Amino acid sequence: MALRASLRSFSTARQSLRIGLIPADGIGREVIPAAKRALEALGSDIPRLEFHELLAGFELFTRTGTALPDETVQILKTGCDAALFGAVSSPSRKVAGYSSPIVALRKELDLYANIRPVVSVGRNVGGKPVDLVVVRENTECLYVKQETIVRTESGREARATRLITERASRRIGKMAFDIALGRPRKQVTIIHKSNVLSITDGLFRETIRAVPDLPEVAGRYAGVALAEQIVDSAVYRLFREPEIYDVMVAPNLYGDILSDAAAALVGSLGLVPSINAGDEFVMGEPVHGSAPDIEGKGIANPLASMRSAALMLRHLGYENGASRIDKAVNEVIEEGSVLTPDLGGRSSTSEVVDAVLRRI
């Protein structure tokens, strides 16, 4: 998947590649080491690697009262070129003092785009090929986490602020168009609900529709087709006609839901990678969660984390290394004899990792 040319310039004349590793919670501690081994297997296709093991997560919060230490943020900002994040356990109940470290990291590092390619390789649940990218705005929407409880005569009311800005919508729109330029179909679909949320989603929709006409892009997106879809209809059509989508650009909440739904079409969340990208930093992150039900059993699927490492490399400009990881992962999936239980196999995490490394 081609990404913005301006970000590829990160790789020029670099002698070493400094990667922060943040396993965080649950199976993150099992799959991030797999991604590290895939990177180490690439040899001279990438610069010399330096890894920094960093702390974050809900489990850290339960021990120390801090989910994201200042030291982790500072090392990422001053001592790393990129990072890999594992998974975070987010309790469904309110926990006083706790806030998700991955949401905080996206804000601290201005990682405004969550880019989630979903591609079927050797398997697709609905019988139709899937090859799309969800480009999710990463810093706004309801994820600003401005929630309050108000007591009224009829009981408690929970209220949340939803933030959509022209600035954030414009830059996520540019990211989506840039990604579409590097893909064969060159199509962007705006996902929104402006028929109901005419002000917030209306601003998102209108701002992205205006991106091709911005003076600074000077006709660069003339070859990109633009479509739009109401979000509930988009979910329906995603399952019925996944082949109609190429690049889907969405506000934070919709993008989160759509990419997880799309993962069902290719067999497992354990296959879907992502990167959190800004203009100066990139952090790979498998789409799956911390999976406490399988933690410690040695059966977590490492392929999404390895693909996330490949996405990270590609975003930094190391196409050869990224392609070697992707090719090895795809061969393991297509061959089908070494797969974790989520894909119908009986292999362990380590067996799948070894199978990929042999092919790299």
pLDDT per position as a tens digit, 69-125: 999 999 999 999 999 999 999 888 889 999 899 999 999 999 999 999 999 987 666
Model confidence at 12: pLDDT above 70:
no
CB atoms within 10 A of CB 103: 19
**pLDDT tens digit string along 231-266?**
999 999 999 999 999 999 999 999 999 988 998 899
> In this structure, is the dihedral angle defined by the CA atoms of residues 59, 275, 19 and 328, taken in order, positive or negative?
positive
Active-site residue, selected from the candidate residues 145, 232, 236, 297: 232
Say whether 131 is catalytic: no
Active-site residue, selected from the candidate residues 193, 221, 246, 342: 193
> What residue spans define the domains of the chain?
1-117+269-360, 124-265
Active-site residue, selected from the candidate residues 246, 256, 326, 342: 256
Say whether 143 is catalytic: yes
**pLDDT tens digit string along 177-207?**
999 999 999 999 999 999 999 999 999 999 9
**Identical topology for domains 1-117+269-360 and 124-265:** yes
Coil, strand, or helix at residue 50? strand
Active-site residue, selected from the candidate residues 143, 221, 254, 318: 143
Q: What is the mean pLDDT of residues 8-32?
A: 84
Say whether 81 is catalytic: no
Say whether 232 is catalytic: yes
Confidence of residue 8 (pLDDT cuts 50, 70, 90): very low
Coil, strand, or helix at residue 32? helix
Q: What is the pTM of this model?
A: 0.91
The fourth-level CATH superfamily of domain 124-265 is Isopropylmalate Dehydrogenase (3.40.718.10)
Active-site residue, selected from the candidate residues 45, 110, 260, 279: 260
Q: Could you tell me which CATH number the domain at 1-117+269-360 has?
A: 3.40.718.10
Model confidence at 282: pLDDT above 50:
yes
Q: Which amino acid is at 14?
A: R
73-95 as b/e: b if 16+ CB within 10 A: bebbeeebbbbbbbbbbbeeeee
Say whether 256 is catalytic: yes
